[in-house]
Structure 1
Amino acid sequence: MLTLASKLKRDDGVRGPRTSNPASDSTRRVSVRDKLLVKEVAELEANLPCTCKVNFPDPNKLHYFQLTVIPDEGYYQGGKFQFETEVPDAYNMVPPKVKCLTRIWHPNITETGEICLSLLREHSIDGTGWAPTRTLKDVVWGLNSLFTDLLNFDDPLNIEAAEHHLRDKPYSRSAVSVQPQSCHSGSCS
C-alpha cells in the first residue's frame, strides 16, 4: 500500500514543475482511481472490522485485493469466506466488482459467487446503490454485514438458500461452508 503512495510522491518529485515535457508526463501520469485508492486503502486499514482481513497480492496494484470475512456471530459464525475485489478504471463513478470465492449456501450469494448487495449496484431502485461518495470501507463493511444484519431472506438472490432457511430454521451447520475461525472472544489475532 505504501509502495504506490511512495511512487506517487516520487513521480511528483521527478516530474518537477509543469514545464517538463508533456509526453513524459503522460507516461508517468497516475490515474484518478489510483490516487483515490491510496487514500481509501489507508482509511480501510485503519477502520477494518476485526472479522475481516485484507490482502493485496501485489502492493503496487491497489485496484485488486482479496478480503477474508470470518463472522464471529450469527448463522455463519466460525466460517471463513473469501472475496476478490477489482476496482475498475472508472472508479469512483462505478462500484468495484466483487465475487465470493468460497462456495457458500447464502440467500444473498449464489453458488457461483455473485453477490446481492445494493451498494455494489450502479443503479438501485431503493437509492442505496453505489454513489461516488462511497468508499472501499463501505464495500468491506457491507460484505461483512452480509453475515449479520444485512442477511436478507425476503429478497434473495439464491432463492433455494432462502427457502431452506424459512423451512428449516435455524440453519443446520451442514448448510454453511465452515472453516476454522481466527477470532476468539471478540478480539482478532
Structure 2
Amino acid sequence: MVDRLVNSEANARRIAMVENCFGSSGQPLAEQGRVLVGEGVLTKMCRKKPKARQFFLFNDILVYGNIVINKKKYNKQHVIPLEEVKLESLKDEGQYRNGWLIRTASKSFAVYAATATEKEEWMAHIEKCIEDLLRKSGKQPPSQHAAVWVPDNEAAICMHCKKTQFTVLNRRVSITYFRRCSVSLFF
C-alpha cells in the first residue's frame, strides 16, 4: 500500500497538512518517496510525568510534537529516522498499560497507547516500515541505544550497582543517561 501512495496527490496533501500543523517552527517533511503511514495520540513518558503527544508515522521517519490545539496545531517537533529505531514491548504494570520503548542511539523513551489493539497496530506498522527501510538501504539495525529515563520516584536504588538505596542524604545523580550512586550530602 505504501508504494501506491508514494507519488500520489493525496499523500502530498496529507504531508503538507502535517507541516502546516507545526507551522514555521517545524522542519519541512515533504521529500521524494516519503509516505504518511498513520498518525495518532500516544502518551509519552516524560521526566516529570506522562504527557499526550501527537505522533506521525512516515515510511522513513517518526515525528512527534506537543499538542497545542487538538488536531490543528503542534509545536516542538521531533523527527526520528526509522533506520535508527528499535522497539521493545513493555509489560503492563499498574497504571502503565499498552506501552513500548522507542530506542535510538541518542534518545530512548516509553510510549503508551489507549488500548492493546492500538499498541499492536502501532508496533506492527513501525516494525514494517523499519524492515522495509533497512531492506531497501542494505543497512543493519543499530546495536547500541540510549538508556530510558526512569522517573525519580521509581528509582529507589542505584541502577548501576543495584545496592545503594537513595535517601534524603544519599541523593540521585544523573550521569550519562542513568542513575549512579552519589556522595552523601552533609549540611
| Fold match (TM-score > 0.5) | no
More helix per residue:
1
TM-score for the superposition, normalised by structure 2: 0.28
More strand per residue:
2
TM-score for the superposition, normalised by structure 1: 0.28
Task: Return the structure number with greater relative CO, CA threshold 8 A, min gap 6.
Answer: 1
